[in-house]
Amino acid sequence: MNKTVKNHVGRLIVSLCLIAASAGALALAAGSPEKGSAVRSRPPLPVASGPASCTPPGTTVVTDPAGDQTGAPTVNQQLDILSVSIAEPCFADGIDKLVFTFKVANLNSIPPNGHWKTQFVPPTLPTGITAFFVEMTSDQNGNVTYEYGNVGTTTTTLGTADDGSYNADGTITITVANSKVGNPVVGNTLMQIQGRTQLLVGAAGTGLLSTIDSTTVTGNNPSYTLVGHNSCSCPSPTPTPTPTPTPPGGTTGTPRYQNYNPPPTNSFNGGEPSIGVNWQTGNVMYLASFAAIRVGFDDCSSPARDTWTNTNAPSAVSLDPILFTDHMRAAGDLTPNRTFVSQLTGQDSITVFTDDDGASYLPSQGGGIPSGVDHQTIGAGPYHAPLVATPVYPNPIYYCSQDIAVSFCARSDDGGATFGPGVPIYNVTQCTGIHGHVKVAPDGTVYVPNRSCNGKAAVTVSADNGLTWTVKPIPTSSTTGFLVDPSVGIGANNVGKPTGQASNTVYLGYQAANSHPKVAVSHDQGDTWVNDQEVGTEFGLQSATFPELVAGDDNRAAYAFFGTMVPGNYTSQASFPPDAAWHLYIATSFDGGVTWTTVDATPNDPVQRGSICNLGTTSCMNTPNDRNLLDFMDETVDAQGRTIVGYPDGCVGPCIDGNVNSFTALASIARQSGGKRLFAANDPNPAEPVAPAAPRVDSVTKDGTGIVRVDWSAPDNGGSAIIIYHVFRRTDPGTYGAPLATVPASTTMYDDTTADPSVSYFYKVTAMNASGESGNCREFPITAPPPNNPCVGTGFLVDADPTGDQMLAPMNADLDIQAVLVGEPVQPDNINRLIFTMKVADLSTIPANRQFRIVWTPPTPPAMPGTDRYYVGMDTNTGGAGAATFDYGVVTSSGNVPISLGAADAGSVDPSGVIQIAIANNKVGNPAAGATFTLLSGRNFAGNGNATITKSSAIDSTADGSYTLIGNAACASAPVPVGAVSAKTHGSAGVFDIDLPLTGNPGIECRTGGTNGDHQIIVTFPAPVTIMSAMVSSGTGSVSSTTVNGSQVVVNLTGVANAQAITVTLVGVAMGSSFGNVSVPMDVLLGDVTLNRSVNGSDVSQAKSNSGQTTTEANFRNDVTANGAINSSDVGTIKQQSGTFIP
C-alpha cells in the first residue's frame, strides 16, 4: 500500500465518522525510508587496497551451518545464517567505522517483519548495557532499514546505521561508526559476536521475536580484535556536486515540507491551480478548475489536520481559472482579506470575490465575452504614492491578461467591483507571451513577469498605479523556447533589506533556454539585475518548469518548480522517457538571493512521469494528454512565513511506485512544516534541531477480530531524524502510563492485540528523535470504520460532502448533500441491481419542486446518441414523502440535459435525509463486476424538470468520485458461523446447549418448549455481525425476538411444533466483507434423548438410568423438562411422547 492510499484510508476512517471532517493527506518531506533503497540507491562501499580488513566482508568471525534454520530446508532460507564478517575500511570522511557483513542463504525476497542482527560486546559498556548490535529489519511490507542499538534490560534501537545494503545473494552489509557502538579502538576486542535472525510473531510493539537461526557463542568467543584502517588506502573525498553554496549556518533551518491532498471522497482536480492565504483566518484558498476550495489547517498535529471544502463559487466551466487572495494590509487595518475567483470561457466570463473565505460571494463587474484573451491574473497591494487607499477598499486590484495583440492591466479602486481601462503593458512587438502572475510591492510598484521581451526574461513595471509601464529585462538571461510563465516575488517588508536600498528586493524565477531553473535579483525595481543563477544543481536537474516565486522578508524568498533529472526534450512525448520522474523542488534563499538551497518537497512521490507539454494548446494534442498540468502552478506565504505551494499532481496511485503516468492533476498543497520561515520573526525558537512535532493520528479502529489498529502520519521531525514512536493507551476512565508500544520510525501504525472488547480505550501517539519526545495532539477513542462495504447497509461511500455548504446556507438544508453511496446487496429476485443512496442534511419536511440527482459516467456510453452519462434521481413534485417519484435516465454530453428513461425499480426517502434509489443494472448499461463508474457525483437542484443538471447551477453538489462494481453475486458470500446451538436453562443447574450443525444431520432438540413451543437458538460468528432480520424459513414456528450481541445472534422462537424439522434463517448477515443469509436447521422431537429421531423405549430406559441425578453437561439431554434434575417427570414426559418421530 503506498503512502497515498494509506493516508486516504486513514482519512476515510476518521472523516466519515465526522461526516464533514477530513483528515489531512500527507507525504513526508523527510524520514520515510525509500522502499528498496538499499539495493537501488546506496553508493558502493570503499574498495581499497591493503589487508583483507580493508575491504568488506573482511575477516570472517563466525560461520554457521547452512540449512539449520527453523523451517529448514525450504522455509526461512532468507534467515539461514551462513557467516558474519567484520571489516574496517578507510572512509573518505576519516571516521572510524565498522562494516558488518551478514551472510544468509539468499535474499531473493525479503520476508516481512524480519530481523538480521549481529550482536557483540565491546570492552567498554555504558552502565546497564550488556551489548551492542547492528541489524537490518523489514517491516510488514518488506521495506528494510538498517539500525544500531544496545541491549540492557530491554533491547533499544538507538538510530539509523551509517549505511546499509543487501543483495539477493544473501549478503547484508551494515556500516556503523565505532563511536555509536561502544567506541572500540584499535586493539580492542569485540567479544561474544553472535548473528541472529528473527521473525516478529504478533504485532509490532507487543509481538514476540521468534529466533529462526543463530550462531553459537562459547565464553567470549567468537571475537574480533580491531586493526584499524591505517594500512588501508583511503578514497578521496567525493566532490560535492553542489555548486550552489550552502547558506550561512549550514543546513540547519533548511525548510521541510509536507504534502496535502483532498480526501478521495471529496477529491478535486485541475491543472494550473492558483492558491492564496487569508492572513487573518489562516485559511488557504485553492482553485482547481472551477472548484474554489477552502483548506483549513489545524496545526495541533503534524501533518496538520486539513479540511477541504468546496465553497461552490459561482462559475462556469472554465479552462482559464485564477484565484487570488489579497492579504496585504497596513498595520491595524482589519479589512477582511478578499479572495477573487475568476473564470474565462469563450461564452462567458465571471469574477466573484469573497470576504469570508468562500462562505459567500459577490459578483465583480463582468460578463464581458473574451476574445483572444488568455492568461488572466489578479493581484493587489498598496497604492503607490501619491495615491492613497479609498474608503471602499484599501488596495488597488489589478487584473492583467493577454489581449489579441498585447498584454494589459486594468486597475480597480473599489475592491474589484468595477475596473478601469485595460492599459497595455508592453508594445506589440516588444514582448511575446506569456506572462506570469501580477504582484504588487509594499510601495505599490506593480510587477508583471514576462517570458520573453526581446529574447530576455523580464518584468514589466509600473510605478504609477498601472498608468504607465516599463519593460525591464534581465540582460544575462536567455528566454525559454517553451511557453512557461516566469514568476516574480517582492520582499514583503524591510526586514533584511540592504542598507540604503530604496525599494524592496525583486526576485524573478524563470526557465532558461536550456530548460534549467534560474533566478535573478534586482535591488532597484528591475533596472539592474544581479545573481542571475541556476538553482537545484545539487540534484542534477536537467529540466524544470512551472517556476513560482514568493518572497517574505526582503532577503528571503522561496522558488518552487517541477524538476527532473532526466535529460532530453521534456516536451516531446515521442522522445522523452515515459517513466522520467518529476518532483516538486523548492529553493529558498535567506540572504537576498545570493545563495539558494533546494529541497525535493515530494521525495517519494513524483508529481509527473514522462513528458510535460509546454507548447500550448494545439501543439499538445497528445494521447495520452501530457498537458494535464496545463501552464503553471502557484506559490504563496502565510502570515507565519510558511511557504505554501499549490500544484497539480499528475502522478497518483500506481504511478507513484510504478512507471506509468496517471495524467491527473490532483489538487495538492506542499506546506512548510519545519526549518526557517520566510519571516525571520517566525523562525523556530529555540533553533532546530528540536523534538518532533506531534504525530497526526489518522484512525483508531477495531477490526473484526478485535484488534485495534492505530494509524498515524509521520510528523515533521524537528530537524533530526525520528527514532521511534510511542503508542499510549488508557482506559475510559483512566490515565496514561508507560507506552503501550514502541514502534520503529519506519512504521506509522500499530495493532493493539491486547484490547479488551468490553473496555473503552483512548489512544495517543508521540514521536521521539535525538532531541526529545514530542507532545501528542489530542487522544482518540476507537471509532467505527467508514462504510466501505457495498454489500452492507447503504453501501460504499463514494462522495462525502461537507454539511452546510449548499447555496444560501443554512437555507436549502434539504438539498445539502452529505454523502453519496453505492451498494450492491444480494437481491431477492437475483436481478443485478444497484442501490444508490444520497444522504442530505434534513428531510424532516420534504419541500415541493426539488430535484435530487446522482450522475455518473459509465465505462461504455449510453446507447442514446449524444449522451454520455446516466443518472438516478428523486423529484419531490408537490412535496411530502408521498409525492416523491424516482426515475433514471441519461444525460446529454453537451448541455447536461437529463433525459428520463423511466421509473426506477424502487425508491425511498426518510425524514433523516436518506434517499435510496434502486435500479437494475440492465437499465443503466448493464455494467458487470469490475466495471467502474467515474465522475460520480450528487447534484441537487431547486425546481422540478430543470433543463440541465449542471453542477454550477446546483444548490449543492459533491466532488466527483468513482465506484468499481463487485456484482451482487459477490455479496452473496454469507458469513460462516463458528457454531449454533439450541440453548435452554435447566433451572438452577444452568444453561445447556444442544449443538446445531449447519451441515449434515441436524441437531435434535429433545427438551420441552413449554406450552407455547418456545426455544432459543444462538448463532455465533467469528466476528461481530449485523443482521437485517431472522425468520423461520421452513417448519412451524415463528421468531418472537432477535438480539445481536457482537458476534452472537440470539433468536427466540415461539409456536414451534413438536416432531418436525425446522429451519431458522438469519437474513442479511454482515460480517466484515461477508454478507448473506445464514440458515440453521434443527429437528424438534421432545423426548428423543438417544438422538435416533424417534421416541421409544430406549429413550425411556436412558432417562430412567439417569433418574435421580442433577443435571450436568453429561446428562442434560435426559432432563427433557429442563428443570435442573432428572426424575420421574422426565421419564413420564418421554413415555408420553413415545411413538413420535421426525418425518
Partner 1 sequence: MRPRRSIITGIACALALALTACGQRSEKTSPEPPDTKATTIDSCRFLTAAEIQAVQNSPITNSEGSSQPDPAFSVSQCVYTAADHNRSVSLTVTRKNQTLSSAREVKDLWRETFGEQKHAGESDAEKKESAGEEEGEKRAAPTKVTGVGEAAYWVGYQFGGALYVLHHDALIRLSLGGPDSKETKLEKSKTLAQKIISRL
List residues near partner 1 by CB under 8 A: 319-320, 342, 344-347, 349, 351, 364-366, 368-376, 385-386, 399, 401-405, 408, 410-414, 418-424, 426-430, 432-434, 454, 463-464, 467-471, 483, 527, 615-620, 627, 630
In angstroms, what is the minimal distance from the CB of 675 to partner 1? 37
What is the rounded CA–CA span in Å between residue 843 and residue 859?
33
- Residue (of 19, 267, 12) closest to 839 by Cα position: 19
Grid cell listed for 779: 487522544
Classify 183 in phi/psi space as left (phi over 0), alpha (psi -120 to 50) or beta: left
Q: What is the DSSP letter of 141?
A: T
CB of 949 to partner 1, least distance (A): 21
Decide whether 461 or 678 has the Cβ nearer to partner 1: 461
Whose Cβ is closer to partner 1: residue 161's or residue 344's?
344
CB neighbours of residue 569 within 10 Å:
14
Residue 322 cell numbers, joined:
485564477
* Contact indicator for 574, 615 with CB cutoff of 8 Å: no
**Is residue 530 within 8 Å of 522, Cβ to Cβ?**
yes
**CA 178 to chain CA centroid, nearest Å:** 40
Least distance from C-beta 574 to partner 1, angstroms? 16
- Residue 666, beta-bridge partner list: 269, 649
Smallest distance from partner 1 to CB 328, Å: 19
- The residues, ordered by sequence, that sit 6+ positions from 234 with a Cβ below 8 Å of its Cβ are 46, 48, 90, 91, 92, 94
Grid coordinates standing for 383? 497604492
Which CB atom, from 83 or from 480, has the smaller least distance to partner 1?
Answer: 480
Q: Which is nearer to partner 1, 417 or 707 (CB)?
A: 417
408 vs 763, beta carbon nearer partner 1? 408
Q: Whole-number minimum distance, CB 413 to partner 1, in Å?
A: 5
Measured from the CB atom, the residue of 20 and 615 that comes closer to partner 1 is: 615
Q: State the nearest-atom distance from the C-beta of 417 to partner 1, in Å.
A: 8
In the numeric block, the cell 442479511 is attached to: 1068
If the CB atoms of residues 116 and 482 are measured against partner 1, the closer one turns out to be 482
One DSSP character per residue, 579-610 reads: T-EEEEEEEEESSTTS--EEEESSTTS-SEES
* Separation CA 500–CA 498 (nearest Å): 6
Give exposure, 1059-1074, as e/b (b: 16+ Cβ within 10 Å).
bbbbebbbbbbbbbbb
Nearer to partner 1, 631 or 688 (CB): 631
End-to-end C-alpha distance for the chain, whole angstroms: 56
Distance CA 510, CA 505 (A): 16
Shortest Å distance, C-beta 522 to partner 1: 13
Minimum distance, C-beta of residue 633 to partner 1, in the bound complex (Å):
17
Distance CA 622, CA 106 (A): 46
Buried b (16+ CB within 10 A) or exposed e, 404-428: eebbbbbbbbebbbebeebbebbee
Based on CB atoms, which residue is closest to partner 1, 468 or 985? 468
Q: How far is the CB of 773 from partner 1 (least distance, A)?
A: 51
Closer residue to partner 1 (CB): 617 or 985? 617
Cβ at position 617, least distance to partner 1 in Å: 5
Cell numbers at residue 885, please? 417519484
Residue 644: closest CA among 544, 550, 518, 509: 550
Return d(Cα 567, Cα 612) in angstroms, integer: 13
To the nearest whole angstrom, how small is the minimum distance from the Cβ of residue 482 to partner 1?
8
Nearer to partner 1 (CB atom), residue 301 or residue 364: 364
Q: Alpha-carbon torsion 46, 52, 53, 56, what sign?
A: positive
Nearest distance in Å: CB 960, partner 1: 18
Q: Residue 409 Cβ, how far from partner 1 at the closest point, in Å?
A: 10
- Between residues 614 and 1090, which has the closer beta carbon with respect to partner 1? 614
Q: Which is nearer to partner 1, 487 or 806 (CB)?
A: 487
Nearest to 135 by CA among 73, 200, 51, 206: 200
Cα–Cα distance between 151 and 132 in angstroms, integer? 6
Q: What are phi and psi of 920, to 5 degrees?
A: -70, 140
